[in-house]
Structure 1
Amino acid sequence: MRSYPLSNLTLHSHFQPIYSLAHRRTVGVEALLRAEQAGVAIPPQQAYLDHDDTQSRHEFDLRVSTEHIRHFAASTPGESWLFLNIDASTLSSLARTQALISMLQQSGVPAARVVVEILEHALEADEILIAGSRLLREAGFLIAIDDFGTGHSNLDRVCLLEPDLIKFDRNLLRSATKQARTRNLLTKLVHLAHEIGALVVVEGVETEADVLVALESGCDLIQGYYVARPALQPDSDEIITRRIDTRWDELMVRELMKRKLARRQIELARQAFVQSAIALMQGTSFTDAAQPMLTLPDVIRCFLLDSTGRQIGRNLNTREAPSRANPKFAPLADTTGAVWSRRPYFQHAIDQPGVLYMSEPYLSMTDTRHCITLSMAIEIDEDLHVLCADVLVPKTMGLAD
């Protein structure tokens, strides 16, 4: 294997914009190494691999970071962030981490403008790395988890690190463009990152489909070839925003049509639900009163609860019984006597009798389909009951396959 001595390599920095969807402008750049020897380009990974001694690799990492900061300070005005990929060798000891901090502090770039990227898989079993990350945070630098979602994501360690940003791996986006379930997962992961106080960067945005999925996910920042390619002087915001706005307009038109269809679907279900509730209060049997609901194609089932949340009788299903349609869940099909008092649809209904409540989308325990539940507390023979109907989640609500 050919070796590339430190002294013989010429290092350059290319920058790739990290773009805020809300601000509609570039808010940071990731510094990417470009190396050459005697005019011949050297793959960045190879330049690192050929310094296999930990100390030598650390020294090379400091030199690379120094070059990145020098070029950034000279070419990037304003308040944007510099994202630095720091090698694991630098973070593998507190002494080397402190050397990195000292170098960064002497660079003249404020700590609040430097984001140190740490590979997610490196957190798995490295207490020193986590301790070093804390030193960086205490010195005022921002921390980003890079390549989140590759392999086994260690959520407990991610939470322990308290990152300022989490960069989602490009393979997660690739999968989300092809599978509805992964798109739903991507949205949930964005919410999870927000819950722990981190902004989300979706990496690998390379196609129009990628942009649409990223926009739908609710992420904060995007990065990739579709936004801008790495360069000494990457594309301006005027060029980037024009590309992104076109996809945003396309998404808004599509979402408007979906919302119109969803509103119509829900409104029909609500009207039928009120009709069924009135029939029940007038003394009609549950089986007959539920028929207006059961004729709708998007309704899954109707069921009736007593004032304590206990189910009275079996579900009235609009389609083939779950135990026959999907034998895997046959043990869950019979819900007679089940207690649903912890469900929000019961609690909201019982707190406001006569008011129709529509739940948030959730996974039905009966047959593991995503649904919303309509519910209303009504009096039947002077006793309070809660009428419920499960409806398939409209696609615009983001959980339907």
Structure 2
Amino acid sequence: MGRVTGTRLVSIDMLSNSMQHPSDSGLRDRFHVRSLEHQRPLSTVTMAFTVVAFLCFIGARNLVDGPAAPLAYRLGCALVLALLVLAIPRAKSTWVFGLIGVAYSQVLVAGLALNVAGVAQPLLWVLPAMVVIPVCAAPLWLTPTHFVAGSALLYATAYALLFGAPLTRDVEIVVWMWIAAIGVPTSAVFHFGFYRFRRNHFLLESQLAQLAATDPLTGLQNRRSFVKQAERRLDTLAPETRISAIFLDIDNFKSLNDRFGHAVGDHALYEVAHALMEEASADDSVSRIGGEEFALLLCDGLTGALHLAERLRLAIAAIERPDGQLTASFGVAEHRSGESIMMLLDRADEALLRAKHSGRNRVCAERPLPRDALQLLVDDAAGEDGAAVRRHRWEDYYLTSHFQPLYSLSHQKQVGFEALLRGEQGDGTLVPPAVLFAPKPSSDEGALDRASHAVHLANARGSLPDGAWLFLNILPATFIAEGYADQLAKLVRAVGLEPERVILEILESHGGSVDDMSRAAALYREHGFLIAVDDFGAGQSNLDRLFRIRPDLVKLDGELIRATSHGTEQPILPKLVSLLHQAGMLVVVEGVETTEELILAVESNVDFAQGYLLGRPAAEIAPPESVHRRIDDAFDVIAHGRAHQHALFESEVEPYRAALRLAADALLAGVAKEVAFVPLARFDRCISCFILDDSGRQIGQEVPGPAWSSDGASLQPVANPRDARWDHRPYFRNAVLLPGVAVASNPYLSLASGRPCIAVTLAVQFAAGRCVIGVELDWSALGLPWPAGE
């Protein structure tokens, strides 16, 4: 154990040192290129300012008497200088930038020589420029080579053009003192000091960038850097270039950490990273994606990537761990045209999962592209004797379709059929769903999904009733697959249907983000498809998913039709249907198996229903027979039941109405509320009697009844009704709209008691103003009638 930990510390130490002192032969070139990007703006401004100063110098010379060089020559020098300034932003290399600087200095010296020609003391004019120009130009030279060459040529040209006349000893001493003792050393200090500053800044910037892009344990690229670099490579990928990805995961790595400690686990990760770097080429991108997962991106096809993955598997299998040898599982995928890096990695990850599920320590390749669904239709149409083939060969069995009808409850007729995939043996025996849809390393769930669409459309051809919808189940991964919207539309039209008659039913499954499905839904709608979301209320289904995808229909999970609210056992289906209708979505209820469930679906205003009571899945699309009569009977039951329910509720509430009117008369006669509410407060279900002012705030204390309970302490922050304002409640608004009439509310969950309650209220005009008096009743007991609308 100590030896392993010590080795790990040495390895990490070496990695740290290598990061601090990178041995990069191209570092100098990259530094100069980076300096060029930084220097362009500064050089452009400085040299442009020098052109302006030179023009001022020309203007000053024209104020002095004596022979002078032609003005056109001097302005020509200014024009050449301006053109060189304009060339700076277009300099793509450090050498071009340096040549521009040398040319600029030579033209500037020539212009100075032309400008001082004919003056009495030319050195008086140019000596300051010969000192200032090299000093100001020193920081602008990108490299020491440029600085030395440019400065030497500047002084040589200046000496040839400006110092031709003999000088007195005093003047000569002054000139060389300014140039040799001040100008040259100062410019050298400026250049090398600024150069060192820029280099240190670049090294620090490079080190920070490396740290941000590197996994600190292994020294490999981290996930963010890997994805960013891969995106750049794919964006600049030549059409003929082949790119593949390898995804690998160390087997049983958690047990290594749990049994032997994280130091041993870290050492194993470092050894795996070292093995990857040993086998990968310099052009390959190698990354630790996270945890014990690694990824490689290489310029090779699938075959070459599989060979590399096998070499990596053997290399990792040679690494020791305290209880044996390390192993890893690999997934390999080749990039497809138009595919993003994340899609490529997802396919490699899928292959990795198959490697894990099939025993670990192995390499699995991506699944091949499925056969084109249109080709399936062609094959099916070319059956024996020209008859349509009703099943398609798939692995060891055949795929075929069963159709289950959906009914419009309001229209009491069939409006569509859901196509359900079935597997059959050669003798017609059905394959169990657990076998048909079981994940297998050798098969592709997405391919099965796409094949099912071709099979269903082939079987629906000619048998789907006119005007009826065909519901096709589709996995989220298939739904968002690039180009599948166009392919499916082509497929539908190939069988003589229009996309408007096909409803795509997105299954409850993993495989696509909500954003991706929302974007894909827009593409399918452009073709005319309708969209449905299946099994809402199960799995990952939620309202956010619905509101983002905006389906045309929502299919509710069958369990929702049997779900009831806590305490009262009242069905929640009516409220849920109302919510979805308000969101602009039609509602389908699945799993209708009894007459009671059908009645509830009708009563809840469900649009479409499906289930064994209305029709079982079958290979042939059967006529509706007497189903419409069963639906009509459900409507009759509801119509009669609604009147009976209303009568029951009214008979239950009427005594409270009468007692409330008596209490109102007593209050108008001046009786104290504690006395006026006594008869009403004696009812068993009475929680409390209260008076609300015109703004809905409670006046004084409520009068408690037998159902009053202080156990509502769990809702203590909202248990005191006197702290609240109640004019937004329906029982207050309805009483105000019908003054003098005792009105009963629908059941609601009381904030004060935490129980289902109803309120009976009455608006009364007192001398001091209008008030609403009322009583809150406990309506949580089972068997109590609810309003028919509920």
**Residue 111 of structure 1: which of 483, 490, 499 is its match?**
499
Partner Cα separation in structure 2 for residue 182 and residue 353 of structure 1: 34
Please report how far the alpha carbon of residue 77 of structure 1 lies from its aligned counterpart in structure 2 after TM superposition: 1.8
Partner Cα separation in structure 2 for residue 342 and residue 300 of structure 1: 21
User: Contact conserved, 2:587 with 2:607, CA < 8 A, in 1?
Assistant: yes
Please report how far the alpha carbon of residue 149 of structure 1 lies from its aligned counterpart in structure 2 after TM superposition: 0.3
Which residue of the partner structure matches residue 193 of structure 1? Answer: 580
Rate the CA distance shift 1:305–1:174 in 2: closer, same or farther, 3 A. Answer: closer
Please report how far the alpha carbon of residue 25 of structure 1 lies from its aligned counterpart in structure 2 after TM superposition: 1.2
Rate the CA distance shift 1:234–1:257 in 2: closer, same or farther, 3 A. Answer: farther
Rate the CA distance shift 1:292–1:214 in 2: closer, same or farther, 3 A. Answer: same
| 2:517 paired with 1:160 | no
3-state SS, counterpart of residue 732 of structure 2: helix
Question: What RMSD over aligned residues (CA atoms) do the two structures have, in Å?
Answer: 3.2
Amino acid of the structure 2 residue aligned with 1:24: Q
Which residue of the partner structure matches residue 33 of structure 1? Answer: 421
Partner Cα separation in structure 1 for residue 654 and residue 511 of structure 2: 49
User: Contact conserved, 1:112 with 1:141, CA < 8 A, in 2?
Assistant: yes
Rate the CA distance shift 1:145–1:182 in 2: closer, same or farther, 3 A. Answer: farther
Amino acid of the structure 2 residue aligned with 1:281: L
3-state SS, counterpart of residue 616 of structure 2: coil
Please report how far the alpha carbon of residue 164 of structure 1 lies from its aligned counterpart in structure 2 after TM superposition: 0.9
Partner Cα separation in structure 1 for residue 622 and residue 675 of structure 2: 65
Please report how far the alpha carbon of residue 189 of structure 1 lies from its aligned counterpart in structure 2 after TM superposition: 1.3
Which residue of the partner structure matches residue 278 of structure 1? Answer: 665
- Which deviations, in whole Å up to 9, do the C-alpha atoms of 1:170-195 show, x marking residues without a partner? 2223445x977675322221111111
Partner Cα separation in structure 2 for residue 134 and residue 241 of structure 1: 35
| 2:755 paired with 1:369 | yes
Partner Cα separation in structure 2 for residue 196 and residue 240 of structure 1: 30
Partner Cα separation in structure 2 for residue 343 and residue 250 of structure 1: 32
Rate the CA distance shift 1:155–1:123 in 2: closer, same or farther, 3 A. Answer: farther
| 2:753 paired with 1:396 | no
Amino acid of the structure 2 residue aligned with 1:158: L
Kindly report which structure 2 residues correspond to 1:175-194, keeping only aligned pairs within 5 A, or say none: 175-176=563-564, 183-194=570-581
Which residue of the partner structure matches residue 213 of structure 1? Answer: 600
Which residue of the partner structure matches residue 6 of structure 1? Answer: 394
3-state SS, counterpart of residue 483 of structure 2: helix
Please report how far the alpha carbon of residue 301 of structure 1 lies from its aligned counterpart in structure 2 after TM superposition: 2.3
Which residue of the partner structure matches residue 69 of structure 1? Answer: 457
Relative to total residues, which structure has the larger strand share, 1 or 2?
1
**Residue 304 of structure 1: which of 691, 701, 714 is its match?**
691
Kindly report which structure 2 residues correspond to 1:89-108, keeping only aligned pairs within 5 A, or say none: 89-108=477-496
Which residue of the partner structure matches residue 620 of structure 2? Answer: 233
Please identify the structure whose Cα radius of gyration is greater: 2
Sequence identity, in percent?
35
Rate the CA distance shift 1:258–1:123 in 2: closer, same or farther, 3 A. Answer: farther
Rate the CA distance shift 1:250–1:99 in 2: closer, same or farther, 3 A. Answer: same
Partner Cα separation in structure 2 for residue 327 and residue 208 of structure 1: 42
Please report how far the alpha carbon of residue 386 of structure 1 lies from its aligned counterpart in structure 2 after TM superposition: 1.9
Which residue of the partner structure matches residue 516 of structure 2? Answer: 128
3-state SS, counterpart of residue 238 of structure 1: coil
Partner Cα separation in structure 1 for residue 743 and residue 645 of structure 2: 22
Rate the CA distance shift 1:73–1:45 in 2: closer, same or farther, 3 A. Answer: farther
Which residue of the partner structure matches residue 17 of structure 1? Answer: 405
Rate the CA distance shift 1:182–1:33 in 2: closer, same or farther, 3 A. Answer: farther
Partner Cα separation in structure 2 for residue 85 and residue 279 of structure 1: 66
**Residue 150 of structure 1: which of 535, 538, 553 is its match?**
538
Rate the CA distance shift 1:266–1:236 in 2: closer, same or farther, 3 A. Answer: farther
Amino acid of the structure 1 residue aligned with 2:721: T
The gaps in structure 1 that reach 5 residues or longer are none
User: Contact conserved, 1:349 with 1:355, CA < 8 A, in 2?
Assistant: yes
Please report how far the alpha carbon of residue 198 of structure 1 lies from its aligned counterpart in structure 2 after TM superposition: 1.1
Please report how far the alpha carbon of residue 363 of structure 1 lies from its aligned counterpart in structure 2 after TM superposition: 1.7
Larger RCO of the pair (alpha carbons < 8 Å, separation 6+): 1
TM-score scaled by structure 1?
A: 0.85
User: Contact conserved, 2:514 with 2:549, CA < 8 A, in 1?
Assistant: no
Amino acid of the structure 1 residue aligned with 2:675: D
User: Contact conserved, 1:123 with 1:130, CA < 8 A, in 2?
Assistant: no
Please report how far the alpha carbon of residue 145 of structure 1 lies from its aligned counterpart in structure 2 after TM superposition: 0.6
- Which deviations, in whole Å up to 9, do the C-alpha atoms of 1:288-310 show, x marking residues without a partner? 22234334444432101223322
TM-score scaled by structure 2?
A: 0.46
User: Contact conserved, 1:184 with 1:399, CA < 8 A, in 2?
Assistant: no
3-state SS, counterpart of residue 38 of structure 1: coil
**Residue 316 of structure 1: which of 685, 703, 708 is its match?**
703
3-state SS, counterpart of residue 372 of structure 1: strand
User: Contact conserved, 2:562 with 2:571, CA < 8 A, in 1?
Assistant: no
Partner Cα separation in structure 2 for residue 181 and residue 284 of structure 1: 37
User: Contact conserved, 1:361 with 1:399, CA < 8 A, in 2?
Assistant: no
Amino acid of the structure 2 residue aligned with 1:170: G
- Which deviations, in whole Å up to 9, do the C-alpha atoms of 1:357-395 show, x marking residues without a partner? 444432211112223333333233433322122245563
3-state SS, counterpart of residue 702 of structure 2: strand
Relative to total residues, which structure has the larger helix share, 1 or 2?
2
User: Contact conserved, 1:94 with 1:128, CA < 8 A, in 2?
Assistant: no
3-state SS, counterpart of residue 671 of structure 2: coil
Partner Cα separation in structure 2 for residue 356 and residue 286 of structure 1: 18
| 2:525 paired with 1:137 | yes
User: Contact conserved, 2:685 with 2:706, CA < 8 A, in 1?
Assistant: no
Partner Cα separation in structure 1 for residue 522 and residue 569 of structure 2: 32
Rate the CA distance shift 1:357–1:209 in 2: closer, same or farther, 3 A. Answer: closer
Partner Cα separation in structure 2 for residue 88 and residue 49 of structure 1: 17
- Which deviations, in whole Å up to 9, do the C-alpha atoms of 1:228-267 show, x marking residues without a partner? 1111335532322234444554454444432211121233
- Which deviations, in whole Å up to 9, do the C-alpha atoms of 1:24-73 show, x marking residues without a partner? 1111111112222422433456445467578x544443332122123223
Which residue of the partner structure matches residue 172 of structure 1? Answer: 560
- Which deviations, in whole Å up to 9, do the C-alpha atoms of 1:258-285 show, x marking residues without a partner? 2211121233332322222122111111
Partner Cα separation in structure 2 for residue 31 and residue 69 of structure 1: 9
User: Contact conserved, 1:91 with 1:128, CA < 8 A, in 2?
Assistant: no
- Which deviations, in whole Å up to 9, do the C-alpha atoms of 1:142-166 show, x marking residues without a partner? 1111010013432112111111111
Kindly report which structure 2 residues correspond to 1:305-344, keeping only aligned pairs within 5 A, or say none: 305-324=692-711, 326-344=712-730
Partner Cα separation in structure 1 for residue 593 and residue 547 of structure 2: 29
Count of aligned pairs between the two proteins: 395
| Larger CA deviation: 238-247 vs 313-322 | 238-247
- Which deviations, in whole Å up to 9, do the C-alpha atoms of 1:56-110 show, x marking residues without a partner? 5444433321221232231122211111101334224222343223322433212
Partner Cα separation in structure 2 for residue 391 and residue 322 of structure 1: 12
3-state SS, counterpart of residue 191 of structure 1: helix
| Larger CA deviation: 85-94 vs 334-343 | 334-343
User: Contact conserved, 2:479 with 2:517, CA < 8 A, in 1?
Assistant: yes
